[in-house]
Every structure is written in structure tokens, then in C-alpha cells.
Chain A
């Protein structure tokens, strides 16, 4: 039953990487998950080639949202804004490496949503969050 809370997830939850703020940054964005109130604030510093050189995030959230953003933060260095905006949700799901149920998908995607918001400078109009029910799944319930 502890597949969801396996060691890697708990480790990133308890000691998230890049947790905190940057004093100097080029991009930042804060957003929340209205369903649960979880909040994350992401800071990105870019180099002269407009690639990410430093990442930090802070906020409060569950094990899934915190671990997802922590794992994501390890991967962002060297990426351009365009590359950040192109990241699919599978990128985060692969990093997590566990099955995420429909109800927890918003938790898993909060960090990516905020990173995209930072890249755009406005809330990412990004509804690819597993909101839509799967009719086949509903029929089997």
C-alpha cells in the first residue's frame, strides 16, 4: 500500500531540493491549487543565453506536490523558457515513477503549472491535469 509513499517520494517531501527563495531571479510565479489550497512559489534565474541557471521554490503542500516539484527542480537547469513551456505532464509523472490517481493529478502537476506560469509571466492556461473523467473507467465502477 505504500507504493505512493515510497522512500524517494518521502525523501523529497521531507527534504525537498532547491527549497527556499532566490534573492536575485529573472522569473517567478506563485499559484495555488484551489481544490486543496496548496501553494507554490517558483523562482528562476537565467544566464546570458536565457537558460535556467538557478531554481528555488517554496510553499506548502502534500507529499505528492512537494516531491513532484522537488524532482522537477533537479531537471530545470539549462532549459530555456520555450523548453519549460513545452514540458508535458508525463515528464513529471516519469520523475515520480508511481501511479497518480485522477484526484491526486492536480497535486502532482502544481509545480509544473507554476514553472510554466513563471515562463509565461502569467497563469498558464493549461488544463491538461487529468480533470476529465474516463468514461470507460466510470462504467467499471
Chain B
């Protein structure tokens, strides 16, 4: 949700205390203190998560929904507690939260289950130019398979979705609109509530890729109006290997299973198989139990800090980063200017230096960033660059780290004799 900026909420503890909760932030890289600015790729993990995983492995490890013994009951209770935590965080019912491997799998679940059932020849699906490949490739695959059409909503030069063009595409009566909540390259915070209204008025469902929004924004599914919403744990200070799909219950009820196997059935005979109820219908096989429990711990940790305060701190640091990076000569920043719709992701290009080389030199200063196409090649084509360098912020980042990024960027210019 976009902040209304009447009162700026503050974090319940100091940045130093928060940083001390992340052991990895104390390490050095190339004899420099680590400045970890690659949070858009994956965030570091607080002790609240590390200790939860450790405790699970030491004391509770067992399979879930199977054994009638104490450990299995404990593991099942912890796993389902984690689901309730995620559901509460999203303002959803527990039956509407499916644990998956990551946001990519969540989006594929919708494409394979909802898409293959509901899309027909000549139906249309809208995606935007700023999508990550995970919100493009499944739609490309399912529309190809069903002989349906994929439409591309363009972005404007500031890196915002062109809502007028989207509106025109909606007049063609798509069945589905697929959009990122926060762009992983541009940092744009898209107006999901408004897009949901537009899509629904046109008779389309809305699928939201919330991989980058998860750690940044307070999320209420009813308020946002998303029909499906994908999040991932590891960008939200939790373990890798687990994520969640929110789906509106009446949609999930009608959808066929995605992965067949153990746990997702009601009864199997030679003649007939019936499916388990929600959410088990979509969770075939032993899930990532410890990781899901760790995901719940990460969400509790984040909710205890309070997302409005986390967002406000990040917005302040983002403004500072955008201001300072403008001091580097020959550098182009992509995405909207500082403001309410700009998240803490700063992608840029330096004239005459490839993103990989920028990243390599930054690494020698202990500054970790991402270089490449960021799994957004359509967006790279739109921006007219082969790759960008991306600094992405988290709640534990500081002005000092931004200053070190700027100093390292000036060193890039020196090394390349610019």
C-alpha cells in the first residue's frame, strides 16, 4: 500500500540492533566490511529465522500430516502455524495459502492449473514489459499450448506501466492480467488496487507477482483486489525453497491439482482418484517443512518490526541513494524518481562499462550488487541496454553503505579511465 505520509512510523529498535540480528553482516569481503546491496536477489537471514530452523532440526524434525506420533504432530502444528502466519499477514484464509517452492512455482501453478483449464483458442492474456521471466514464461507456454494470445502492456519512459495503453488492451477482453507489484529492476511500485479495478471491470482476473513487494509492503489481499498473489520466502528474510501462492478460495476450489502425488488426494482406487480439500490439493509430496516454518518465523519477525516502518525507512534510504548516485558522472538510473511509487531498487548503467565489470569492481570494495539482465530481457530491450547493475536495499542497509557504493562507483570510473 502506498503510504499516505501523514506520520512516518519508526522502527521499534535501532538500525545497529537490527543489523546485529544478522550474523552475516559482520563478515568481510576482500578485507572490507560487507555492504550487502543485493537484497532483490535474496535477503540475509536474522537470528529469529536461523534459530527457528536450528530448533526444528534438533527437536521437531518429522514428516507432516502422516505419522501419529509426537514429533509428527509437532512438525504438523508448526507447519500449519506457519501457514496461519502467512495467511494473517496477507489478510487471507489459511485455505487460500498454498505453500510452493518460490514465486516462480506459484505463478506456474496458476498457469498450469487455472490457465490450462480456463484458457481457450483466441483468448487473451496481458503481461507487462517490466515483468520478470517468471511472470512471462509460464504465460508464454500456456498461451502457446492453448493457441491463445499474449498482449504486452507497455511502460513509459519513467518506468511506470502506461495505464492508458493497458486500458486499451483490456478492451480486447483478456481473461487474465499478470503484473508485478514491485519491479525487480525499476523499483516501480505498481498501483495494484487500480489495476485490479480495471481488470475486473473488463472481466479479467488479476495475477500479481509479489516477489519483490513481500519484504517491502503491507499486503491485504482483499484491499489489493488480487485474485492470485505470489510471494517467496527468501527475499523476505526467510529460507530459500519455499514461497506461497494466495488464491481466492472460490477459484482454488474449482481448479485441478498442479502436482499429483502423496498428500493431495482424498481417495485413490484403480478406477477413481478424488482430490483433497484446500490447501492440500495443491501440495503434492513432502513439502519444505523446515523452510515453511522458517518462512513463518521471518514473517513474524518482519511484522514485529512493522511493514509501515520498514517501508518508511527504505523510502528514506532510497531517496538518499537516488540523490547520491546522481553525483556519479556518466551514470544513468532507470525507474521512477524518488517518491511514493519508488521502492528501494536502483538499477543503473555507466557509459562505457559493462554491468559485470561494475559489479566485479564493487565486489572488491566489499559492495555486493547484482549485474545482468535480472531475468527481465523484455525490459532490457525496452530500456535499450544489454544489462544493468542493480543495488537493492533492505531494512538493515545504511547511509554509510550507500556512500561506500558511490565511492566504489567512482573507482569504477578510475579503473576504466573514464
Contact = CB atoms under 8 A, between A and B. Distances in A.
Contact of A37 (B357, B386, B415): B386
Contact of B356 (A2, A14, A39, A107): A107
Nearest to A61: B354
A109 interface: no
A91 interface: no
Contact of B386 (A1, A5, A39, A104): A39
Contacts of B201: none
Given A10-B417, A60-B386, A36 B361 contact: no
Nearest to B380: A37
Contact of A5 (B352, B377, B415): B415
Give the bracket for the number of chain B residues in contact with chain A.
20 to 34
Interface in B374-418: 377, 380, 386-387, 415-417
A30 B384 CA distance: 19
B361 A5 contact: yes
A37 B416 CA distance: 21
A87 interface: no
Interface centre among A62, A66, A107 (most CB of B within 10 A): A62
Given A60-B386, A63-B357, A35 B415 contact: no
A38 B387 CA distance: 8
B310 to A, nearest CB: 31
A62 B372 contact: no
Give the bracket for the number of chain A residues in contact with chain B.
10 to 19
A56 to B, nearest CB: 20
Contacts of B356: 36, 62, 64, 104, 107
A88 to B, nearest CB: 24
A107 B386 CA distance: 14
A66 to B, nearest CB: 8
A66 B416 CA distance: 14
Interface string B337-375: 000000000000000111111001100100000011100
A107 to B, nearest CB: 7
A85 interface: no
A35 B354 contact: no
A105 interface: no
Contact of A62 (B354, B380, B415): B354
Contacts of B30: 1
Interface in A44-72: 60-64, 66
A4 interface: yes
Given A10-B417, A61-B354, A63-B354, A37 B360 contact: no
Contacts of A104: 356, 360
Given A60-B386, A62-B354, A63-B354, A36 B373 contact: yes
Given A4-B360, A5-B415, A37 B372 contact: yes
Given A2-B415, A10-B416, A36 B357 contact: no
A30 to B, nearest CB: 14
A36 B387 contact: yes
A84 B352 CA distance: 31
B416 A5 contact: yes
A92 B76 CA distance: 55
A36 B364 contact: no
Nearest to B360: A4
B369 to A, nearest CB: 14
A5 B357 contact: yes
Interface in B306-363: 352-357, 360-361
Contacts of A14: 352
Contacts of B373: 36-37
A38 B355 CA distance: 11
Interface string A16-44: 00000000000000000001111100000
Given A36-B387, A37-B386, A1 B364 contact: yes
A2 B372 CA distance: 21
Contacts of A61: 354, 386
A37 B377 contact: yes
A11 B417 CA distance: 11
Contacts of A38: 354, 386-387
A21 B103 CA distance: 42
Contacts of A36: 355-356, 371-373, 386-387
Nearest to A59: B386
Contacts of B387: 36-38
Given A5-B357, A10-B415, A37-B372, 10 more contacts: A4-B360, A36-B387, A37-B377, A37-B386, A39-B386, A62-B354, A62-B356, A63-B357, A66-B354, A107-B356
**Which 9 pairs, one residue from A and one from B, show the smallest C-beta to C-beta distance?**
A62-B354, A62-B356, A37-B373, A60-B386, A36-B372, A63-B357, A1-B364, A62-B357, A5-B415
Interface of A: 1-2, 4-5, 10, 14, 35-39, 60-64, 66, 104, 107
17 contacts: A1-B30, A1-B364, A5-B415, A5-B416, A35-B372, A36-B371, A36-B372, A37-B386, A37-B387, A38-B386, A60-B386, A62-B354, A62-B356, A63-B354, A64-B357, A66-B354, A104-B356
